[in-house]
Structure 1
Amino acid sequence: MDPHDPEDLLEALRAENDELRMRISVLEATAEEYRRQMTAVLTSASWRWSAPLRGSAGKVRLVRSRARSLAKRLVGRDSQPVTTPTAGLFAPVARKGASGTPHFSPLLNRPLLHGVRSSRLALDPLPNLDQARILVVAHVFYPEVWPDIEDRLSRMPEAFDLIVTLVKGPAESIEGRISGLFPRARIQHVENIGRDSWPFVELARLGAFEGYDAVLKVHTKRSVHRIDGDAWRLDLLDGLLPSPEGIRRIVDLVRRDRNVGVVVPSGHLKGPETWGSNQELVEALAARLPFAFDPDALRYPAGSMYWAQPWLLQRLADLELGQEHFESEAGHLDGSTAHAIERFVGVMATAAGLDQVETGEVPSRLHQARRAASDTTAPRVLAFYLPQYHRIPENDEWWGEGFTDWVNVDRARPLYRGHAQPVEPGELGRYDLSDVKVMRQQAELAADHGVDGFVMYHYWFDGRPLLDTPLRNLLADPSVEFPFALCWANESWTRRWDGLDKDVLIAQTYPPGWEDAFYDDLLPALRDHRYLRVGGLPLLVVYRIGQLPDAAATIARWRKRADDDGLGGLHVLAVIPSRDFEGMSASAAAAVDGLVHFPPGSGIGLQSLRGLVPDLDPGHSGDIYSYDAAVDGADLRTTGPHGLRVHPGVMPGWDNTARRGSAAYAFHRGNPVSFRRWLSRAVDAATAAGGEPLVFVNAWNEWAEGACLEPDARFGRGNLETVRQVTGTRARRPDRAD
């Protein structure tokens, strides 16, 4: 054959086409035989008799997992070594022909799409956005069973928005019917890729779930490989949309109980006995954030229909999946990205500390939520705030012309494969805090997401303030709604960033009369109308209480002066001494009003991952820890040394590579899912302790140490959205115009 002859080339293509058609016929015949055999198995007596054993095996694995978790929680938690699961922390290596894993999986063979936020879908904004607080997302592949969904939506007890993803082809035939019955519905035409999962992930990337109180996910499920496929679909739909009153209870529960992530029809919450060949794919999904999970504790809504917290579904956008990560439809019964997403929703809910509730449990759970709402006072969430991001002459002298902390951030380099360095800021960019407009933006973000105020570091060395421009600008502009308190960072500055701890740049000393000089410096801030108060008194946090020469006498002096100035006194908190701090005397403890946990300094679980991280820099002399272990081992006791009240502290992440380089200590890697688990537990602990509860976050903007609430380039507002979900702050409806 002459490859340059058009006739010969056409003949070769025809032969290849015939061969492909033959292969398709063989595959179709194989699939049909597989369905026949599966039907025979599912209808056999042995399958029915062994059902209890299969369920029992899964339950045994779950009980064992919970027992291990309980044992960990009962262990002392002052930075104790802990062991927590590592599945999901690092992506599995795609292995050709690996048992149970399709070697052609696009999920295992395609990397992260860092920073991708665009979508193939485009939703027009809805009119009257403030009316509907419920969103229904329906995926239609089988138009003939759409009426099952349509009929049950008539039971909705209040207004709802509707998004319908129609698979191109036969499903498009019912577009007119849907538009006629639901004129405000937004209809999207999609390719038959990833079944209902890919369009759902695309909606998350578009931000379609934001601003709602609850989201219902349904689809035209047929499950032709099951003899009970139609009955399964109807049972799912009737469980989720039972009656107007039943629906009202479900929605009310999701609205009231921040710890309810998913509501599933009774009997459809499945466990580890149904992993199939999907565990490795779910590990690959989790590794994209990453967070750890226990495979033996699998629970997820089988059938992929449920009510859910919008925050949970929005985290699907954090996976940064594209259409290319999903298989084209080929009748997969297992082991596809769509099957993995189905299980991942449950895995992610558990990792976030969210409960998956079956509909039969809704009435009793709702009763508990109503009682809790009337019996508790919500804590205030306060974030430590760094004023470093502006130039000062001292930094120019010590570190070079134009130095700010952004220089440290930009010079960071990865220490291992998958290490998220350098960390890039998000929508606020590399700001300059000498501009008070930046603080106005930060205050608006905080208020919109449930952060009640900032605890600004205050640097004062024997009458010499440093990095105080943001504070002075704030005090000069009372129009900026920036609730704040001060934390005196009373330690000497050294060249620690260079590893030269003994090279002191400016010393913290305490000469005679320093107490009054320091108070005089604070007074304008203490009198500001935005200054945070606890128990009616201005809040002051002291970073290293053990360094004060006579802490009891000093605090007594400050309180007297504050009382004389009409402030009523001071509410003084001290940071719990860390492993690097000096201790706290009994007299100092008697003088303060309470303590603040300040992770990672103390009160967290430590689990080294050095033996697991891939391609670790051989020159690295620090350590890589599990962030999930830090969360699971966090000390949430609210009574501490000397019987003092302890206010919980949390961190959205920690990684000081930007400052320490190859000597860094990093927690791999903070993410909104694991952060929610920690923050929710801290809020619960603070609430249970009564009084005027506070929860501290380290930090709002510690960019050089990887601890940031404010938006970054990887998760956007993900950490802030987590605070909003936990605190119950009502989300504003975003503008969804393209």
Structure 2
Amino acid sequence: MNLIPLHIRSVLRRLGPAVVIAALGMGWLLPSHAADDFKIGVYYFPGWKDNQLGGPYPHPWEKIKPFPEREPTLGWYAEGDIPVMEKQLGWMNQYGIDYVVFDWYWGSDNKTHLDHALNAYLRAKDRHDVQFAIMWTSHSDYMFSLEQFKTIFQFWADRYGFRKEYLRVDGKPVVFIFSAGLLNKNAAKLGMTTAQLLAIGDQIFKDAGLGGVSFIGGVSNGPNGVDYSRQSGWTGFSSYNLHGPALKRFAGGRQQTRSYAELAQGYDDQWQYMLSHVEGIYVVPMLSGWDHRPWGASPDPMHDMSIADPVQFQKHLEAARAVMLSEPEKTKKMGVICCWNEFGEGSFIEPTKKFGFSYLEKVKQVFGTQK
């Protein structure tokens, strides 16, 4: 891609190559960062509707109310209502969020769970140009059969992949998988390699006229037994959230963080580790904080002190931006933030009555998206 505007190039042809080389060397001709260079997403946790199969609690907002600083600007909303979703999408668009990745659940009963927010997105009259994708939250050790996998892959292709709003990489729909390690384990239980299993999904998408599927595997910190090569079957990798560095240790040999400053260090260490190991795509993960107390304190209670203020969050985003720019081919300048609304884990950038839009303002400021 030629970065020099056409009207400037026409002038330079008349000035001669010596002038062009000098100007490039001085950086005069490189344009300022374009607003649409980055592709920034956010994970969406659909846990805020009462009495849902698979939900964290029958009345989840009741667990958050003792932490009034987390009350959303929208109040204790009824998640899944279309006006709520349209308001959230409008804010995402306004503050530079290009796509939303819905946590997606599939039970052993071969049915979707907690899909009310995603369905509200699909029914919304105005999605405010925010694309969507799904992240299969493959948390558990439940082992799916090959037939179940085929059913899941077909469901994704039929229900989501054909939609024009669906996020694509290299022209193919993107599916995030929460745990690459657990899917690898499931494939081995089936007597298959991960590449063979994912190839079945890829073929199902191809048969549906979708060109295949880009699978992005979620990984934990550092060395974890995951094959990052192109032969692995994965298109690329990312993470939902991380709790410490890839290789470093904190004071006393700790790996889990006890402050947001340590969390930011851990992410930077993980970014560098992944860039040096991943052969495919690396979607750069970011995190607004960690404080699990509403759901129950972390095993190390000090880990729940890993919470960002807006200034710290901005510095974290700036570091992620630098990583994207350092490896634009590998990262495709794509990043994903955890999370829009993980209020129970202390990971949220959705506007709240205490913090307002301060976290979203930092996203817009750093990534320069002007909608």
| Fold equivalence (TM over 0.5) | yes
Offset of 1:486 from its aligned partner?
0.4
- For residues 624 and 512 of structure 1, do their structure 2 counterparts lie closer, same or farther at Cα, with a shift above 3 Å needed? closer
Aligned to 2:355: 715
Aligned match for 1:433, one of 79, 83, 104: 79
Aligned to 1:468: 115
Aligned match for 1:627, one of 253, 260, 267: 260
Work out whether 1:639 is the aligned partner of 2:281. Answer: no
Aligned pairs, number: 326
CA contact (8 A) 1:390 1:433 kept: yes
Q: Which stretch has the larger CA shift, 720-729 or 371-380? A: 371-380
Aligned to 1:538, what secondary structure does the other structure show? Answer: strand
CA contact (8 A) 2:53 2:114 kept: no
Offset of 1:393 from its aligned partner?
4.6
Aligned to 1:688: 326
CA–CA distance in structure 1, aligned partners of residues 28 and 102 of structure 2: 35
CA contact (8 A) 1:545 1:588 kept: no
Aligned match for 2:51, one of 392, 410, 416: 392
Aligned to 2:167: 532
Work out whether 1:403 is the aligned partner of 2:59. Answer: yes
CA contact (8 A) 2:238 2:282 kept: yes
**Unpaired segments of 5 or more residues in structure 2?**
1-22, 188-193
CA–CA distance in structure 1, aligned partners of residues 369 and 285 of structure 2: 20
- For residues 467 and 676 of structure 1, do their structure 2 counterparts lie closer, same or farther at Cα, with a shift above 3 Å needed? same
Aligned to 1:678: 316
Letter in 2 for 1:385: Y
Aligned to 1:713, what secondary structure does the other structure show? Answer: coil
Letter in 2 for 1:407: E
Letter in 2 for 1:409: I
Letter in 2 for 1:514: Q
Once the two structures are aligned, what percentage of the paired residues are identical? 22
CA contact (8 A) 2:294 2:345 kept: yes
CA RMSD of aligned residues (A): 3.1
- For residues 513 and 478 of structure 1, do their structure 2 counterparts lie closer, same or farther at Cα, with a shift above 3 Å needed? farther
Q: Provide, for residues 185-236 of structure 1, a one-character-per-residue CA deviation record: whole Å limited to 9, x for no partner.
A: xxxxxxxxxxxxxxxxxxxxxxxxxxxxxxxxxxxxxxxxxxxxxxxxxxxx
TM-score by length of structure 2 reads 0.78
**Unpaired segments of 5 or more residues in structure 1?**
1-363, 412-420, 493-506, 610-622, 732-738
Q: Provide, for residues 673-723 of structure 1, a one-character-per-residue CA deviation record: whole Å limited to 9, x for no partner.
A: 011111111112112212322111111111011111111233210000000
Aligned match for 2:369, one of 708, 725, 729: 729
Aligned to 2:4: none
- For residues 538 and 529 of structure 1, do their structure 2 counterparts lie closer, same or farther at Cα, with a shift above 3 Å needed? same
Aligned to 1:705: 345
CA–CA distance in structure 2, aligned partners of residues 372 and 484 of structure 1: 30
Q: Provide, for residues 333-362 of structure 1, a one-character-per-residue CA deviation record: whole Å limited to 9, x for no partner.
A: xxxxxxxxxxxxxxxxxxxxxxxxxxxxxx
Q: Provide, for residues 359-378 of structure 1, a one-character-per-residue CA deviation record: whole Å limited to 9, x for no partner.
A: xxxxx9xx758625379972
CA–CA distance in structure 1, aligned partners of residues 182 and 306 of structure 2: 32
CA contact (8 A) 1:589 1:644 kept: no
CA–CA distance in structure 2, aligned partners of residues 450 and 631 of structure 1: 22
CA contact (8 A) 2:54 2:114 kept: no
CA contact (8 A) 1:486 1:540 kept: yes
Q: How does 1:415-494 map to 2 (within 5 A)?
A: 421-462=67-108, 463-477=110-124, 479-481=126-128, 482-492=130-140
Offset of 1:426 from its aligned partner?
3.5
CA–CA distance in structure 2, aligned partners of residues 684 and 376 of structure 1: 15
Work out whether 1:519 is the aligned partner of 2:176. Answer: no
Aligned match for 2:241, one of 599, 622, 626: 599
Offset of 1:624 from its aligned partner?
6.9
Q: Provide, for residues 20-56 of structure 1, a one-character-per-residue CA deviation record: whole Å limited to 9, x for no partner.
A: xxxxxxxxxxxxxxxxxxxxxxxxxxxxxxxxxxxxx
Q: How does 1:496-511 map to 2 (within 5 A)?
A: 508-511=142-145
CA–CA distance in structure 1, aligned partners of residues 234 and 295 of structure 2: 32
Offset of 1:608 from its aligned partner?
6.9
CA–CA distance in structure 1, aligned partners of residues 70 and 316 of structure 2: 24
Runs of 4+ in 1 over 4 A off after TM superposition: 367-370, 374-377, 585-589, 604-609
Aligned to 1:361: none
Aligned match for 2:290, one of 654, 660, 664: 654
CA contact (8 A) 1:541 1:572 kept: yes
CA contact (8 A) 1:449 1:720 kept: yes
Q: How does 1:120-519 map to 2 (within 5 A)?
A: 368=27, 371=30, 373=32, 378-394=37-53, 399=57, 402-404=58-60, 406-411=61-66, 421-462=67-108, 463-477=110-124, 479-481=126-128, 482-492=130-140, 508-519=142-153
- For residues 672 and 409 of structure 1, do their structure 2 counterparts lie closer, same or farther at Cα, with a shift above 3 Å needed? same
CA–CA distance in structure 1, aligned partners of residues 35 and 364 of structure 2: 18
Aligned to 2:8: none
Q: Provide, for residues 616-653 of structure 1, a one-character-per-residue CA deviation record: whole Å limited to 9, x for no partner.
A: xxxxxxx8712122224423326243534322211111
- For residues 680 and 587 of structure 1, do their structure 2 counterparts lie closer, same or farther at Cα, with a shift above 3 Å needed? closer
CA–CA distance in structure 2, aligned partners of residues 730 and 376 of structure 1: 6
Aligned to 1:513, what secondary structure does the other structure show? Answer: helix
CA–CA distance in structure 2, aligned partners of residues 709 and 487 of structure 1: 18
- For residues 477 and 440 of structure 1, do their structure 2 counterparts lie closer, same or farther at Cα, with a shift above 3 Å needed? closer
CA–CA distance in structure 2, aligned partners of residues 546 and 476 of structure 1: 34
Offset of 1:488 from its aligned partner?
0.5
CA–CA distance in structure 1, aligned partners of residues 351 and 231 of structure 2: 37
- For residues 560 and 624 of structure 1, do their structure 2 counterparts lie closer, same or farther at Cα, with a shift above 3 Å needed? closer
CA–CA distance in structure 2, aligned partners of residues 707 and 662 of structure 1: 14
Offset of 1:381 from its aligned partner?
0.8
Offset of 1:668 from its aligned partner?
4.3
- For residues 714 and 600 of structure 1, do their structure 2 counterparts lie closer, same or farther at Cα, with a shift above 3 Å needed? farther
Aligned to 2:225: 583
Aligned to 2:206, what secondary structure does the other structure show? Answer: helix
- For residues 680 and 369 of structure 1, do their structure 2 counterparts lie closer, same or farther at Cα, with a shift above 3 Å needed? farther
- For residues 649 and 662 of structure 1, do their structure 2 counterparts lie closer, same or farther at Cα, with a shift above 3 Å needed? closer
Offset of 1:428 from its aligned partner?
1.7
Letter in 1 for 2:176: V
